[in-house]
Amino acid sequence: MPPPAKPRQTDRDFVASLDRGLRILSAFERDEPELTLSEVAGKTGLTPATARRFLLTLKSLGYVGMNGRRFVLRPKVLDLAYSYLDSMNVDEALQPYLRELVQRTGDSSSVTVLEGTEIVYIANASVRRVVRLGAGVGSRFPAYPTAMGRVLLAYLPKEKLDAFFASQKFEMITEFTETNPDKIRKHLDKIRADGYGVVQDELEVGLVSLAVPLKDHSGHVFAAMNCSSVARRTDGKEMLRTRLDLLREYSTQVSSALMRFPALAHSVASEHVDGAQRAAERLRRLNQRRGLLRY
């Protein structure tokens, strides 16, 4: 994997050393939980000497450990995620509604936001079913082959949607993945007209998802919520017939709940553009992944 391009920052307030430290923490992923110094340097675009200093600093702070010559994240990293979940009241604002919806449908349910070309899960309630892809808080997937991703894309301003299509490389994840940009745009047009999106088999064969937008008091779409299940239980048409009204009911409740927690609403509405190269690398690994996980 070629090193990521260095961020082009002209802001005098931008702290490059903090950026490098966060890039190092982000280099460790599911498929690469332990990395050598040279691997960290290669993934972050840092020199080995610079990567070594940052790794040893993170080790001293308790965020990184060592297994022989390989570096590995330590549980203290979870403090960073917990600070977000705790300060944003995610468990109080979102989880009760998702858990109740799961109990009523037997499906899984999640809330995601759009970050760059990917969706990021900020809340999830799941049933235990064996599928290839895991989806929990913090999980990322490309937006274009997912129901929630398409819902979020459908409500982007035109200039941002055009920028997405200009930067996204559409790859086959399954034999059913739609990769034609013109056809994807037509899907987005239909979602805007209907107010929902359904995707089956495009991210993973056997997975079906129905998604609706979450809107703030002004009607701005800042997140998406879904019901997802497996094809042996239902299909797109059946899910639409039996879940749409219920999903819309709960999405309205979730939107109202988020308004009671303005910090969370402000957080998920904040703009951030993730690196296209890093997103493309995650897509490559997604295509290679074959392990069985629960969602």
- C-beta of residue 4 within 8 angstroms of C-beta of residue 26: no
CATH code for the domain in which residue 61 is found: 1.10.10.10
**What's the start-to-end Cα distance of the chain, in Å?**
28
Helix H segments across the chain? 16-26, 37-44, 48-61, 78-87, 90-93, 95-105, 147-154, 158-167, 181-194, 236-260, 262-269, 276-288
Q: 199 with 53, same domain?
A: no
**198-229 confidence digits (pLDDT tens):** 999 999 999 999 999 998 888 889 899 999 99
Look over the chain and give the mean of its residue pLDDT values, rounded to a whole number: 85
- On the question of pLDDT at 72 being above 80, the answer is yes
Instruction: For residues 74-79, give the mean pLDDT.
Output: 91
Phi, psi of 219 (to 5 degrees): 90, 5
Ranking 4-8, 76-80, 106-110 by mean pLDDT, the lowest is 4-8
Residue 133 lies in a domain: yes
The whole-number pLDDT of residue 1 equals 43
Expressed as residue numbers, the domain containing 33 is: 16-74
Q: Is the pLDDT of residue 257 over 70?
A: yes
Asked whether residue 34 falls in the same domain as residue 101, the answer is no
Let me know whether 99 and 152 are in one domain: yes
Residues 172 and 249 in one domain: yes
CATH of the domain at 132: 3.30.450.40
**Average pLDDT of 186-193?**
97
Number of domains in the chain: 2
Whether residues 28 and 115 fall in one domain: no
Contact call for residues 109 and 227 (beta carbons, < 8 A): yes
Percent share of the chain, pLDDT over 70: 84
Residues 206 and 241 in one domain: yes
Where is average pLDDT lowest: 58-62, 109-113, 147-151, 282-286? 282-286
Greater model confidence, 54 or 2 = 54
- Tokens 């604002």 — which residue? 93
* CA–CA dist 76, 274 (Å, integer): 24
- Sequence-distant (≥ 6) Cβ neighbours of residue 18 within 8 angstroms: none
Residue 11 is assigned to a structural domain of this protein: no
State the pLDDT at residue 81. 80
Shared domain check, 198 and 137? yes
Of 74, 97, 117, the domain-final residue: 74
